[in-house]
Structures are given as structure tokens and as C-alpha cells.
Amino acid sequence: MSAPYDVESGDAVHPGHPVQVDRYTVGARINHWITAISLILLAISGLALFHPSLFFLTGLFGGGQMTRTIHPWIGVVLFFSFFGMFLRFWKANLWKSEDGTWMRRIRDVIAGHEEKLPELGKYNAGQKLVFWGMSFLIVVLIASGVVIWNAYFSTFTSIGQQRVALLVHSVAAVAIISLWIVHVYAAIWVKGTISAMTRGQVTGGWAWRHHRKWLRELVSRKTPGSSGTRGTPAE
């Protein structure tokens, strides 16, 4: 494994018992959680205006007027926050040949038979699809959202265009919330994942099981730059 595969800056392996692997830098984690909080707030405030039976959720934001006011601004925060994540993660999310194999063996994925799957880089095909799906949907949502942001942009488009934007915005919102459910569920289902986004680290066993190619590359690559706890292996 000579050419860099999809190791990102900050990824490092610390031998020990168990082995610890740095997966996300502090910056990446802050970036992720700003995006996550924004997305949740957007989903709640958006759903409140989407279906009458959920209108009561506007109470969390200080009423209907406040919800209507604040929702688009949170959208702006999310857009820029996600853009930062996109710059960090896009390279490692490029489609690779093993991703096709992974997709064809989706039954084994769902059944948890990881031994039947190819060795994977930093992300599996499912994670990549979530990444690109989110990226695409966020662009659609910000674009359609600006069109229906009545307070500032109502005069820039025709009412016909705004109607289309409303429909597109709600369909895209349903899609992104569903994708978010998949994303969160995957993190809960695959034990040991959440620590990647809280403490920034996963165990070596987790990396071995789910992203072996990435782990192998990290181990083989171990450059002098990634020092830190490197010196105390034999505990």
C-alpha cells in the first residue's frame, strides 16, 4: 500500500491495548456538531410548518412567527457549516471499486456479516452515499429555500417558480430527514462509532472490522510527524 488512499489529515494510529485510532480532528468534530444541531433544529422547525399536526413544535422556537423567521437563518448556518465538512471529507468519499462490491453485497451488510465484505477505506459505500446525498440535498434545499424566503427574496422570482420551490423544498426535506435517520441509525447500530465524533477516536478493532484498508494504510504510513503517544507500545 504505497500511494495514499484516503487517509485524511489528523488520522493516526496509536498502538496499545486496545489500539486507538484518531479518526476526526477537533475541528472536524466541532464542524460536525454545528451541522448536526442545525440540521435537527431545521428538521423540527420545518416539520412544524410541513404538517398541521406538527405545528405545535413552533412552540419550541417561540411561536409561529419566530419559527418562520429563524428557520431560514439556521439554514444559512447549516449551509456554510456543511460546506466546511464537504471540503474536509469529499476526497475520502470518492467512489472506489470496492464500493460497488459492497453495494452488491448489501444483504451481508444488513446482516452484519462483515467478513464477507471487501476491505474498506475510511468510508464504506453507505457512508459515501449519505455524504453525497446530504451534499446534493443541501444544495437543493438552500437554493429552493432562498426562493421561498419571503421576507427578503419574494420579489426575485415569480409565484409559479415559488410554488415549484415549495414542492421541491418539502420533498428534499423529507429525503434529507430520512437520510439523517439512516445516518444516525448506522452510528447507533455499529457499536464504537459514536466515539469517533465525540472523542475523535475509535478502537483499532473497530477500524479493523469496518475500515481495514484505512487502518492498514495508517499503520504502514506511520510517518515521524504523527508522534504523540507513539513511544509507549508495550503495555
Partner 1 sequence: MFPPIPNPPVTPTPAKFGEGDLIRRSASNLRVPVEFKEPVAKLIDVSKCIGCKACQAACLEWNELHEEIGTFNGSYTNPPDLTENSLTLMRFTEWVNPETDTLEWLIRKDGCMHCADPGCLKACPAPGAIVQYSNGIVDFDHDRCIGCGYCVKGCPFNIPRISKADHKAYKCTLCSDRVAVGQGPACQKACPTQAIVFGTKTQMKEWAEGRIKDLKSRGYKNAGLYDPPGVGGTHVMYVLQHADQPSLYAGLPDNPRISRIVEAWKGVTKYVGLGVMGFAAIAGALHYLVAGANKVTPEDEANAEKLTEGGRS
Residues in contact with partner 1 by CB under 8 A are 13, 15-19, 48-52, 55, 58, 63-65, 67-69, 110-112, 114, 148, 150-151, 154, 159-160, 162-164, 166-167, 170-171, 173-174, 177-178, 181-182, 185, 188-192, 203-209, 215-216, 219-220, 222, 233
The residue (of 30 and 54) whose beta carbon lies closer to partner 1 is 54
Q: Which residues pair with 204 in a beta bridge?
A: none
Task: Put the strands of the sheet holding 201-203 in their side by side order.
Answer: 12-14, 20-22, 201-203
From the CB of 131, what's the least distance to partner 1, in Å?
17
Instruction: Tell me the closest approach of the beta carbon of residue 94 to partner 1, in angstroms.
Output: 25
Written as nine digits, the cell of 97 is 471499486
Residue 79 Cβ vs partner 1, minimum distance, rounded to whole Å: 20
Q: Which of 32, 183, 210, 211 is catalytic?
A: 183
Give the span between the Cα atoms of 106 and 114, in whole angstroms: 10
Nearest distance from residue 11's CB to partner 1, in Å?
14
**Cβ closest to partner 1, residue 31 vs residue 131:** 131
Tell me the HSE value of 95 on the side-chain side, using a 13 A CA sphere: 7
Does 211 qualify as catalytic in the annotation?
Answer: no
15 neighbors 233 (Cβ within 8 angstroms) = yes
Residue closer to partner 1 by CB (options 49, 103) is: 49
Does residue 57 contact residue 44 with C-beta atoms inside 8 Å? yes
User: Cα-flanking dihedrals φ and ψ of residue 200, to 5°?
Assistant: 90, -5
Active site members: 183
